[in-house]
Structure 1
Amino acid sequence: MPDYWLVRYADGFLVLVFGRREHAGELCDEVAEALKPVGLGLSVERTGITRIDEGVDFLGWRIRCHRKGGTDRQCIYTCPARKFLRSVMDGVEGLAGRQNVGLSLESLLNRLNSVLRGWCAYFCPGVSGVAFCYLSHCAWMRVT
């Protein structure tokens, strides 16, 4: 008998299944049927069945199972999804771009700090050190 966990936030949700792929497929059909009476449906583009070791993106996070370093234990890790790292980088490039060349350095840094501080605060609970270093380096290269 498989175990199911529901992770929900606003209008998005994940259903985690500890079982076989067939169990997840059956549950997908059940969820679609349960949503029909309230006028909702599953998005074809955003609905999929994947193994946790392949990873899944949810609310900007990449959730994936990896072997813990130095052990044989499998652990669930969360880090910023590449798409969301790219979106904050686009924001940094936009702020540090040609249209803001007339801004004082203090004003530019204040704007960048508000964007970067908010993004980093959101992703702080995960395993985000590599993403933070990359973001710091790219932001520094855009400003200098």
Structure 2
Amino acid sequence: MTLDGIEDLIASKYYPGKIWKGSNPKKVNFVRYADDFIITADSEETAKEIMELLRSFLEERGLELSEEKTLITHIDEGFDFLGWNFRKYNGKLLVKPSKTSIDRVTRKISDIIKKAKAWKQEDLINVLNPIIAGWSNYHQSVVSKAIFSKMDSLIWNMLWKWAKRRHPKKSRTWIANKYWHFRGTGRWVFSSENNQLKFFQKTKIVRHVGLTLAKNPYLDKDYFDQRRRRLNILKLADRYETTEAKCDCFGV
């Protein structure tokens, strides 16, 4: 790929011997996923220096940095990458679902519920559950507990409005008893006879996922791609825990 030479370019300037190990006085690190990447540095000056290297590298190949996705920012201000927000709070790095990712899934769920006025409850549940499961599973390895709780509350309010629109003349008690039931959880659950809505909060927060030994790196490409992406994120988090680095977020 065109971007494959970036890592060597940076290593040749900032790493003795042109390899990614050993002395790293300017705290330069490179994390990439597809066409999106992050480069860390010890100062804004170093970050700008790297940006100019990248501009020249890309211009030679008929490409340019994305103005929308490219910025230089301090880690205390934070930045978004792959749907997550990286930011230090009182010296501690926290990785959370980004506001953009939260807004996107909230809007998607809201749009579905609004157009589902005439749907059967079970059909609505069947459409929403994969979205809830997919989004919460993606974010289960970062600091998501509070956001998961907030998402459940938002969806509850959306579904309550959905139910009231369907039965404008019915009482609150009648509506609640028709669409919400106890399902062994000690709480009311939006559920039909055969199915129930998933909770974001029920997704377990997992800081590390062990390797499934039965997986084959040649046959299970998606599985290993996901592991590599998560490993890169964890490596980046570890680097920021031990440095006061600046960070560039670059994209083309």
Q: Does the pair score TM above 0.5?
A: yes
Given residue 80 of structure 1, which amino acid in structure 2 is its aligned partner? Answer: P
The correspondence for 1:7, drawn from 20, 31, 40, is: 31
Structure-2 residue corresponding to 1:94 = 111
Q: Which runs of 5+ in 1 are unaligned?
A: 68-73
User: Aligned AA for 2:71?
Assistant: G
Q: Which residue of 2 aligns with 1:77?
A: 94
1:106-136: per-residue Cα shift (whole Å, max 9, x none)? 1111111111110111111110111111111
Number of aligned residue pairs: give it: 136
| Counterpart-to-counterpart distance in 2, 1:117 and 1:131 | 14
Percent of paired sites with the same residue: 31
Partner of 1:40: 63
1:22 aligns with 2:22: no
Structure with greater proportional strand content: 1
TM-score (norm 2): 0.52
Moved beyond 4 Å, runs of 4+: none
Kindly state the Cα deviation for residue 39 of structure 1 after the two structures are TM-superposed.
Answer: 2.1
2:147 equivalent in structure 1: 131
Question: Hey, what does 2:232 align to over in structure 1?
Answer: none
Quote the residue 2:18 is aligned against.
none
- Aligned-pair CA distance for 1:10: 0.8
* Cα RMSD after superposing both structures: 1.2
The aligned amino acid for 1:43 is: S
Structure 1 distance, partners of 2:28, 2:85, is 20
Q: Which has the higher contact order (CA 8 A, sep 6+)?
A: 2
Matched position secondary structure for 1:3? coil
Provide the secondary structure at the position in 2 that maps to 1:38: coil
Q: Aligned partners of 2:80 and 2:130: how far apart in 1?
A: 25
With normalisation by structure 1, the TM-score equals: 0.89
Which of 87, 91, 102 pairs up with 1:64? 87
Bigger Cα Rg: 2
**What is the distance in 1 between the residues matched to 2:140 and 2:55?**
34
